[in-house]
Amino acid sequence: MRIPLSSPDIGESEIQAVTSVLRTPRLSLGPKLEEFENSVAGYTGAAHAIAVNSGTSGLHLCIRALGIAEGDEVIMPSFAFIAVANAVRYERAIPVFVDVDSETLNLDPGKIEAAITPRTRAILVVHTFGCPPDLSPIFSIARKHGLLVIEDACEAIGAEYEGRKVGPLGDAGVFGFYPNKQITTGEGGVIVTQSSQVAALARALRNQGRSKAGEWLEHGELGYNYRLSEISCALGIEQLKRLESILKRRDRVAREYHRRLSGNAELKLPPVDVPGRRISWFVYVVRLGARFTQRQRDWIWREMASRGIGCGRYFAPIHLQPIYRSPAGPRHDLSNTEWSAARSLALPFFNNLKPAEIDEVCQTLQELMQAAPD
């Protein structure tokens, strides 16, 4: 693609940091892991940070460490990446999908209580596209019903809710650092929590069930190889140092898109300002107007690609994925999810996107909207 959907921002300091690790004998479970974890904990205000090899692994360990098990129900949005539901099903728990609000595409607090049953154990909130949901009513509902709250903040490092950084606000949270994220470790993620118990168990589970005090070949838990390498941690340390400047740049890109597209009445744009919240822009997703069908959205997506412009169809609803289609269990109204998912289009979005490229994307999109076949 001439203008890709995403592109990692790797500088000379990152290259030097990775090279330095390669000159040492410690490529796993070394000092860079501890430094990266401490840096993330300090930045987010978490008591504990546990680095893992992906955001998906982090979500899985949160489910395990919080004691969510077979038959338990976890409330979550369907408008999200499939990993949130998969992590729940790894433990034979049950994802319960609740609709999103029509503005931020986050879990709608007004729809949660109707989905609570005696088997509900947790609410898994997703900070969709880097914008936090309205957390206060969600936390109130959780306290009222004795539920855990897990934050999928994989798209939202640096985002804030009422002046506090997301991630460690619930019982546990997870950041993701895939190459399309705000910052990257290549592959990787970090669990954050204020709970010493959750942190200790997550650390053991990521390293084949070994406890910190145990011998190398002593395993107290059924664990996994979810470790993050020293190379990845070194990259993450350098990326995190630049995070605030990166977030400011991404905010400017989002506002440039908004300025160029706000005059088009057939586009619903993401809000650039939400009271009480700081958005950490992951992607810039527009929604086509009511006259457009999913088939027309897909035609525009293919035409953009044919002109060298990468776009994404974010997100396909989880409940409509083949593996999750089932008549069994309760089915709640997901009309906002289905309507928005059929018309959503993620535009090219990354740190170093140039104004001329934004112009081309916006102009091409609007031309194709006019030309879309019936």
User: Lowest-pLDDT range, 59-73, 229-243, 328-342, 346-360?
Assistant: 328-342
Angle, helices 12-22 vs 230-241, to 10°: value is: 150
Name the average pLDDT for the chain: 96
**Of 32, 181, 268, 354, which residue is the catalytic one?**
181
pLDDT digits (tens, 9 = 90+) for 301-322: 999 999 999 999 999 999 999 9
First to last CA, the chain: 27
What digits encode the pLDDT tens for the residues 177-192? 999 999 999 999 999 9
Q: Would you say residue 35 has pLDDT above 80?
A: yes
Residue 215, pLDDT score: 78
Asked if 354 is an active-site residue, the reply is no
CA-to-CA separations, 304 to 9, 31, 69, 129, 349, in angstroms, rounded: 23, 45, 44, 21, 14
Q: What SS3 class is residue 350?
A: coil
What is the percentage of the chain residues whose pLDDT exceeds 70?
99
Report which residue type is found at 335: S
The residues near 243 (Cβ < 8 Å, ≥ 6 apart) are 43, 157, 158, 182, 183
Go through the domains of the chain in sequence order and give each one's CATH number.
Answer: 12-241 (3.40.640.10), 243-371 (3.90.1150.10)
